[in-house]
Amino acid sequence: MGKKKKPNHGKLTRAGQLLSQFVRDISLEKTELIKDANGEDRMASKAEALARMIWQRGLGFTEQKVIDGVLTDIEHAPDRVYVGMLWDRMEGRAPLMNPEKGNKRTIADRITEQGKKRINKLSDSSLKS
């Protein structure tokens, strides 16, 4: 009485693999213009440009915009979402699950729930003894 497999599972898995491969291939394309350490323009891969954007958002940055004909500096504080993403990557942790895909409980909630179940099981067994 095992679980029934979804009829499209193999097709969806293959489609996901193909999509992942295309994303990896596109990430290697050198199409993005960035500034190097000397302030010179150079071409970089999409993956490098994305990584630099994540670092920029994680560290905070200042951008200049023209508002009503006046050049204005706009300060962007470090974004904790990007800081967390960077720390997770630097420590080798896997990315978090997308909460929109069903399982909305956090890892902490699941661990707490598992601990409660174990404690209840121990207390039930001690009462029966």
Residue 36 forms part of a structural domain: yes
Q: pLDDT of 44-73, one tens digit each?
A: 999 999 999 999 999 999 999 999 999 999
Residue 108 forms part of a structural domain: no
pTM: 0.59
Structural domain count, the chain: 1
Residue 101 forms part of a structural domain: no
Domain that holds residue 80: 26-96
SS3 letters for the chain?
Answer: CCCCCCCCHHHHHHHHHHHHHHHHHHHCCEEEEEECCCCCEEEEEHHHHHHHHHHHHHHCEEEEEEECCEEEEEEECCCHHHHHHHHHHHCCCCCCCCHHHCCCCCHHHHHHHHHHHHHHHHHHHHHHC
Q: Is the pLDDT of residue 17 over 80?
A: yes
Residue 54 forms part of a structural domain: yes
